[in-house]
Structure 1
Amino acid sequence: MSDPGPRRAPSLDEFAALAEQAFAGLPEAFRSLTGDVIFRVEEFAEVEVLEELGIEDPFELSGLYQGVDLSRRSVLDPSPHPSMVFLYRRPILDEWAERGDVTLLELVTHVLVHEIGHHFGLSDDDIDAIEAE
């Protein structure tokens, strides 16, 4: 699916297809390192997640990584729950509409890469530093 452009917001299914396109566009070496991460697209984060993170406005969370990152996994630990990357459609769409300087595909890719960075064990500061380069 190509970027739907500024005329209309994609449906949840169209947004999920856009996320798949974003992931497919990443370098193969990067994609292969993600392993068995499950990707989910939802309208907003669940209330419990927002409360746990201390976020009052659901529009402030555009993506989330849940799981044990690769830097903290051990073969001696029991199998962890599957790692998951969530992309939240409405907050991403709002940021896209407000910014106007990126395509929706570019923004989805940015959020996706950010959350995958957490899967690799990178902090927000690490990811920001990499993006600044």
Structure 2
Amino acid sequence: MTNRQTHAPDGAALERLAEAALERLPGQFRALIDGVVLRVEEEPDEALLAEMGLDNAYELTGLYSGRSLREASSWASGEHPPMIHLYRIPLLVEWVETGVALEDLITHVIVHEVGHHFGLSDDDMHALEDQAE
């Protein structure tokens, strides 16, 4: 008998997959994300969607919040730590719609959000992805 996924994973299972994706990053990158908090939520809230100009919660699978390494300052006290937010329901919807392995999808989102931690824009990351193909 195989150990196959037969139901949608809960937030804790997604968090384990995300932590595994972070562990697969090269060591020099893992050292630079020390202190970044990983948070799995069911879906983005209405206020965030409005702030981002999105109508559909399923359009947002992950988000980086906080200062990037380029903006970090020892003088910035009282701020929340940098966070990577993963949104469980939108991730599961994309997983079903695309047929991409869930581990690969989560890794893609994690790498994208880590890119924001390093100060890369969406355009920078798309250009890097295009070069890698």
Q: Report the counterpart of residue 20 of structure 2 in structure 1.
A: 21
Q: Report the counterpart of residue 119 of structure 2 in structure 1.
A: 121
Q: Report the counterpart of residue 8 of structure 1 in structure 2.
A: 7
Does the C-alpha gap of structure 1 residues 67 and 4 become closer, same or farther in structure 2, counting only changes over 3 Å?
A: farther
Q: TM-score, normalised by structure 2?
A: 0.88
Gaps of 5+ in 2: none
Could you tell me how far apart the structure 2 residues matched to 1:49 and 1:131 are? Answer: 27
Q: Report the counterpart of residue 53 of structure 2 in structure 1.
A: 54
56-65 vs 66-75, which deviates more? Answer: 66-75
1:30-49 mapped onto 2 (5 Å cutoff): 30-49=29-48
Deviation >6 Å, runs of 4+: none
After superposition, what is the alpha-carbon deviation per residue over 1:48-75, rounded to whole angstroms, capped at 9, x for unaligned? Answer: 2111111111000000011011112234
Letter in 1 for 2:125: I
Could you tell me how far apart the structure 2 residues matched to 1:12 and 1:78 are? Answer: 31
Number of equivalent positions? 128
Of 99, 104, 114, which residue of structure 2 is paired with 1:106? Answer: 104
Identity of aligned residues (%): 48
RMSD over equivalenced CA pairs, Å: 1.6
Could you tell me how far apart the structure 2 residues matched to 1:29 and 1:63 are? Answer: 23
Q: TM-score, normalised by structure 1?
A: 0.88
Does the C-alpha gap of structure 1 residues 11 and 4 become closer, same or farther in structure 2, counting only changes over 3 Å?
A: farther
Gaps of 5+ in 1: none
After superposition, what is the alpha-carbon deviation per residue over 1:76-121, rounded to whole angstroms, capped at 9, x for unaligned? Answer: x323421111011111111111111x21001000000101100110
Secondary structure at the counterpart of residue 36 of structure 1? coil
Q: CA deviation at 1:4?
A: 5.7
88-97 vs 18-27, which deviates more? Answer: 18-27
